[in-house]
Structure 1
């Protein structure tokens, strides 16, 4: 049976999350007594070395004898070990230029790479992700930003809270006027954002009522693809057709943009799909959105104001829609304030790790240690024995440097 090593995160900036918490490591050891699990020493993770030691998990500096190495973010190339099985978010499957050399190194070192993003069930649905906490922190940050912009209230940043329960103690301080909030998307991220709305007692209304009614209290609506995209030929919206041929559709978001004060963007975006709105639309007099929390953080994607990722340390900047340029945060009432932190779950690392590890234990590990009858591990394996797996052969031109797609 394999020996599993929990990696110290090596990527900069520092990521304090873990894929397996101390208590979960003990559960693995108990459930699979033939599996050995060790934890690499780390002074940065949200659970200390002592937390693992208290659960009886051995700590080590040398992980050479591990068969499977489990991390969160990309492992720096210089730290990759030959002939190992690695689990981490590689950020290579969309041919991201900045990780081309990482994938090359994986192939050169005969590493078996399994990317969390590619772990899916037979229906193609992801079975492990940090999305819920991206939505939770993204929505909280959106409200933090709105309060700062209008000097309405002052709440702690999410990363200054010990965990989600501590963050919830800030809720009574949030005093919103009768604002209208739009959340796009219907997956884990959007559901996480809706958790914050529910926790604050903000009423959900239908998309139609959102546009056609006025309210004396804050409200939000949640939009799916069908609500803000339409077929270019006027036919009724078909969800499967939208996924198969997104270039056959055009944006239909203007009615919401005219009535919303705050946008929390949580929807996955295909580069072939319509943008949510254009910069020209943002500069129009009837564009009423003043704060955008782009949780998806697609640079030059569906939201023109997302010029760059922001950071946990410096989470917001302004966008001047008349110039299409960045400006200092909260610098002019005519600007739109953007929150585009690209590693939101890191702000609540303990809860995010707990959630993620739970899915790893229940949805992934049985197929890794036992028989992979549903081909979950096989489908998610990007590279093995120095070669790309057939499912990921489309990455060969990327590896060979024949494409600059990022």
Structure 2
């Protein structure tokens, strides 16, 4: 007989984050399979509380997951707020803790102290090492749209910051229409370079350009291999960095390079890891946000930099629905307890590996699902 699980969807606390990994329809499907779903009320989530309640979920207060029953599987999307209390549950979300990011050791130590486990979305991979669920297409799509809009606004003596805080669009058609209108106020078309064009983010960037019938120069890893900076990037109006960061690579742009005479006026860093050890754009050290989407950098002449680490939030419903369609079959696999030789096992292995690398240790509690309590 299939075991019932308790899935606890938490409220997202990151500012301007409206996405979710589980929609009301997803709740309905889980309940139809005998699982229990608790949803934290959220004024920001792109699906409203009433729809979750109608789907059969139990609604609870925001940020109450820390007191959830031990057997609850805590499902989120972005990082939890910084704190020090131990984390005893199994959590599923983007932890940003396995690439030497700032605060990673403190976060993982909370799992160690609580004997909990982190299943990071980013490391749910297939046998070939490819992620099974990602927002990359939407990151590239939105980042490219914002870069085009900032370029057009600059041509008119304006800036995207003047429209901040940026608010989500109802759908991608309205977003495309908005950017198209801004571009039509400018007599020329931008010259665009996409670095990392073959990956998810790069394909998303191309998808947006295709909607406006714009062309770009496409760089793959073969075009940047063994290169020390890309001086030809200065000849473009817009550079889109869509590279998947897996290890150390030489910088594409440096302050010294940008101090030269250049046409380049807008850079969007979709990879957005300014404080990581493998940042290929060492020209800034802090992300931008929907509150202030553009950094104005001065390297002799002004450069607009966009580096928002949750770009798909500008299209929360579409990006959430797409992500859920990728993730949901794997969630069912997880709830069934069939994690051997699966993306879940590979994500868990990365958790253990990083904990050991940091010199942390936890008591040996079996993670097999059959040893875990289930719902009565």
Please give the range of the TM-score, normalised by the shorter of the 2 chains: 0.7 to 0.9
Following superposition, the deviation at residue 41 of structure 1 comes to: 1.8
* 1:201-212 matched pairs, under 5 angstroms: 201-202=213-214
Question: Is 1:198 paired with 2:201?
Answer: no
Q: Which residue of 1 aligns with 2:358?
A: 396
* CA distance in 2 between partners of 1:95 and 1:279 (Å): 24
Q: Which residue of 1 aligns with 2:217?
A: 221
Cα deviations across residues 136-175 of structure 1 (Å, max 9, x unaligned)? 1100110111011111899988634222233233254132
Q: CA RMSD in A?
A: 2.7
Match of 2:312 among 345, 351, 376: 345
* 1:15-30 matched pairs, under 5 angstroms: 15-30=17-32
For the Cα contact (< 8 Å) 1:114–1:382, is it kept in 2? Answer: no
Give the 3-state SS of the residue equivalent to 1:251 in structure 2.
coil
Following superposition, the deviation at residue 394 of structure 1 comes to: 4.7
* CA distance in 1 between partners of 2:77 and 2:51 (Å): 19
Q: Which residue of 2 aligns with 1:253?
A: 230
Following superposition, the deviation at residue 96 of structure 1 comes to: 1.9
1:180/1:338 CA distance change after superposition, 3 Å: same
Following superposition, the deviation at residue 220 of structure 1 comes to: 0.9
Question: Is 1:293 paired with 2:271?
Answer: no
Match of 2:348 among 364, 373, 381: 381
Match of 1:320 among 298, 304, 307: 298
Following superposition, the deviation at residue 344 of structure 1 comes to: 1.1
* 1:2-401 matched pairs, under 5 angstroms: 2-9=5-12, 11-30=13-32, 33-61=33-61, 64-65=68-69, 67-76=72-81, 82-151=87-156, 159-173=167-181, 174-175=183-184, 177-185=188-196, 186-202=198-214, 219-229=215-225, 249-251=226-228, 253-255=230-232, 257-270=233-246, 272-285=248-261, 287-299=262-274, 301-322=279-300, 334-381=301-348, 389=352, 391-397=353-359
Give the 3-state SS of the residue equivalent to 1:250 in structure 2.
coil
For the Cα contact (< 8 Å) 1:319–1:336, is it kept in 2? Answer: yes
1:356/1:399 CA distance change after superposition, 3 Å: farther
* CA distance in 1 between partners of 2:49 and 2:86 (Å): 22
For the Cα contact (< 8 Å) 1:145–1:291, is it kept in 2? Answer: yes
Following superposition, the deviation at residue 278 of structure 1 comes to: 2.5
* CA distance in 2 between partners of 1:304 and 1:15 (Å): 26
Give the 3-state SS of the residue equivalent to 2:216 in structure 1.
strand
* CA distance in 1 between partners of 2:87 and 2:253 (Å): 46
TM-score normalised by length of structure 1: 0.77
In structure 1, stretches of 5+ residues that fail to align are 203-218, 230-248, 323-333, 401-406
* CA distance in 1 between partners of 2:14 and 2:179 (Å): 32
1:28/1:321 CA distance change after superposition, 3 Å: same
Aligned residues: 344
Give the 3-state SS of the residue equivalent to 1:159 in structure 2.
coil
1:133/1:46 CA distance change after superposition, 3 Å: same
